[in-house]
Amino acid sequence: MKEFYFEDLTPGLRLPALEHRLTEADIFAFATAYDPQSFHIDPEAAKDSAFGGIIASGVHTYAIAYKLLADTGIFQAALIGGLGADEVRWPAPARPGDLLHLDAEVTEAIPSRSKPDRGVIKTRTALVNQDGTTVVSLIALDMMKKRAV
């Protein structure tokens, strides 16, 4: 796997479109632990919700997006740490059985003014289901090391 450092993460770089199959069991497990709303954990109650059935927690889809982003190898060699995320949106629900694809592109690479050994990258990140519908989108901000000189 390629090692990515700050210098490698130039705007326009597209990351591999990794995928994740969302299962009902995964939705129940995550939601039971972290977001126990009825439309995540109770199939009967979910039928009567605005969603008409079980959906994944938005926080769950965010976590899947970040896991797939990490699985690309982008953070393997040089991640110092995540700084946050901007513009987090859940435009459509993710449902059991969805095949979620990572759509990620580096949009900015900002060298640190105070610490010349690092910089911040911004990555436009989304999960898109098998129908082409985005279920979560965000701009990830991560501090990355530069190569040693």
18-35 pLDDT, tens per residue?
999 999 999 999 999 999
Rounded to an integer, what distance in angstroms lies between the CA atom of residue 22 and that of residue 60?
A: 10
The pLDDT of residue 98: 98
Task: Tokens for 78, please give them.
Answer: 């040089």
- For 14, which DSSP code? B
The pLDDT-based confidence of 1 (bands split at 50, 70, 90) is low
Q: Global pTM? A: 0.92
The pLDDT of residue 3: 87
Rounded to an integer, what distance in angstroms lies between the CA atom of residue 41 and that of residue 107?
A: 36
CA gyration radius for the chain?
17
- CA 97: distance to chain centroid? 18
Beta bridge partners of 79: 144
Question: Where exactly are the structural domains of the chain?
Answer: 6-145
The pLDDT of residue 136: 98
Does the structure show a pLDDT above 90 at 15? Answer: yes
Condensed to tens digits (0 to 9), the pLDDT of residues 49-97 reads 999 999 999 999 999 999 999 999 999 999 999 999 999 999 999 999 9
**Within 10 A of 108 (CB to CB), how many other CB atoms are there?**
15
The pLDDT of residue 84: 96
The pLDDT of residue 2: 77
CA proximity to 142, closest of 77, 91, 89: 77
Condensed to tens digits (0 to 9), the pLDDT of residues 89-132 reads 999 999 999 999 999 999 999 999 999 999 999 999 999 999 99
Does the structure show a pLDDT above 80 at 149? Answer: no
Please compute, for residue 51, the number of CA atoms within 13 A of its CA located in the half-sphere on the CB side.
21
Does the 6-145 domain belong in CATH 3.50.50.60? no
Does the structure show a pLDDT above 90 at 148? Answer: no
- For 29, which DSSP code? H
Q: Cα dihedral sign for 15, 110, 78, 5?
A: positive
DSSP per residue, 57-74? -HHHHHHHHHHHHHHTTT
